[in-house]
Amino acid sequence: MEKRELLYEGKAKKVFKTNDPDLLIVDYKDDATAWNGEKKGTIPGKGAVNNRMTNYIFRILEEKGIPTHYVQELSDRETVVKKVKILPLEVIVRNAAAGSFSKRLAVEEGLELLNPTVEFCYKDDRLGDPLIDASYMPALGIASQTEMNKMVEYALTINEILMPFLEEKKLRLVDFKLEFGRYMDQIILADEISPDTCRLWDTETNDKMDKDRFRQDLGEVEEAYIEVARRLGL
Ligand code: TMP
């Protein structure tokens, strides 16, 4: 696999072309941003933790029948992935109230929800990634009804797989964000599943073990990422 020119640089990752037009190389950075880019920083070691954790989880999901963009881990920070057309959506699953959910509805952080919820946000930095009603997506041509149904089905199945898996590692999966892409007319899971994109609380102490430590200036950010990787055996 030959790494060629930079195709795209995002807030947390760089994406490179390869000698194969259907494959890309993702390179995870230690850079962190929050609040739509207002807060910037670095979390040493984050790139490697997120790369290894994402790949570990994506391999488990593939085994359980969820199609993903994962192809091969190249190094601590680099992974070969299928080239997909990313849908401009964040698909958020919640098991307990936190973050924007708690704020919007004035619900106490940590309140266990009676059932998992799935919501969609429209990815647009200028708008601050607003929550989008399900009926808007087919109406605007962002995703078809069939694609939406598939994303909800995959999101809930992923939650069913990850919740008990993480619970065993003494991590409570409060919520998480997924991104999907189109690959040969199919919807497949892309992007990452990591402490950047999940809320993970220690099951005993309720300590936050995710990017909220950075967002909320809680300290020991680097240590939290490393501890999550350690609990996963990575
Ligand atoms: P929220 O409560 O701020 O809406 O976040 C819900 C989950 O989605 C949380 O686990 C963090 C994750 N998330 C991202 O990965 N990227 C984002 O841009 C946002 C807003 C949330």
The pLDDT tens digits along the chain (234 residues) read 899 999 999 999 999 999 999 999 999 999 999 998 899 999 999 999 999 999 999 999 999 999 999 999 999 999 999 999 999 999 999 999 999 999 999 999 999 999 999 999 999 999 999 999 999 999 999 999 999 999 999 999 999 999 999 999 999 999 999 999 999 999 999 999 999 999 999 999 999 999 999 999 999 999 999 999 999 999
In a domain, 26, yes or no: yes
Are residue 18 and residue 130 in the same domain, yes or no?
Answer: no
In a domain, 13, yes or no: yes
Pocket mutation for ligand 1, best pick of 124, 179, 197 (most atoms within 8 Å of C-beta): 197
In a domain, 117, yes or no: yes
Half-sphere exposure of 173 (CA within 13 A, CB side): 25
In a domain, 231, yes or no: no
Are residue 73 and residue 160 in the same domain, yes or no?
Answer: no
Are residue 126 and residue 23 in the same domain, yes or no?
Answer: no
Are residue 32 and residue 109 in the same domain, yes or no?
Answer: no
167 is in which domain, residue-wise?
85-220
In a domain, 229, yes or no: no
Q: Report the pLDDT value the prediction gives residue 169, as an integer from 0 to 100.
A: 98
Atom of ligand 1 nearest to the CA of 211: 11
Q: Given phi > 0 = left and psi -120 to 50 = alpha, else beta, which region is 19?
A: alpha
Are residue 71 and residue 102 in the same domain, yes or no?
Answer: no
Domain boundary among 22, 48, 82: 82
Residue type, 64: K
Q: What is the CATH number of the domain that holds 196?
A: 3.30.470.20
In a domain, 40, yes or no: yes
Are residue 150 and residue 40 in the same domain, yes or no?
Answer: no
In a domain, 169, yes or no: yes
Are residue 112 and residue 188 in the same domain, yes or no?
Answer: yes
Atom of ligand 1 nearest to the CA of 210: 10
In a domain, 234, yes or no: no
Total count of domains within the chain: 2
Q: Encoding tokens for residue 161?
A: 């797989």
Are residue 44 and residue 155 in the same domain, yes or no?
Answer: no
Are residue 19 and residue 121 in the same domain, yes or no?
Answer: no
Q: Report the pLDDT value the prediction gives residue 21, as an integer from 0 to 100.
A: 98
Are residue 94 and residue 155 in the same domain, yes or no?
Answer: yes
Q: What is the CATH number of the domain that holds 61?
A: 3.30.200.20
Verify whether ligand 1 is closer than 6 Å to residue 120 (CB atom): no
CA distance 118 to 87: 16
Verify whether ligand 1 is closer than 6 Å to residue 13 (CB atom): no
Are residue 121 and residue 214 in the same domain, yes or no?
Answer: yes
Q: Report the pLDDT value the prediction gives residue 1, as an integer from 0 to 100.
A: 87
Q: What is the pTM of this model?
A: 0.98
Q: Report the pLDDT value the prediction gives residue 44, as an integer from 0 to 100.
A: 97
**Rounded to the nearest whole angstrom, what is the distance from the C-alpha of residue 193 to the centroid of ligand 1?**
11
Q: Encoding tokens for residue 192?
A: 């990452």
Verify whether ligand 1 is closer than 6 Å to residue 82 (CB atom): no
Are residue 119 and residue 213 in the same domain, yes or no?
Answer: yes
Atom of ligand 1 nearest to the CA of 198: 10
Domain boundary among 27, 52, 82: 82
Domain boundary among 38, 58, 82: 82
Q: Encoding tokens for residue 90?
A: 């964040």
Query: Are 193 and 170 within 8 A, CB to CB?
Result: no
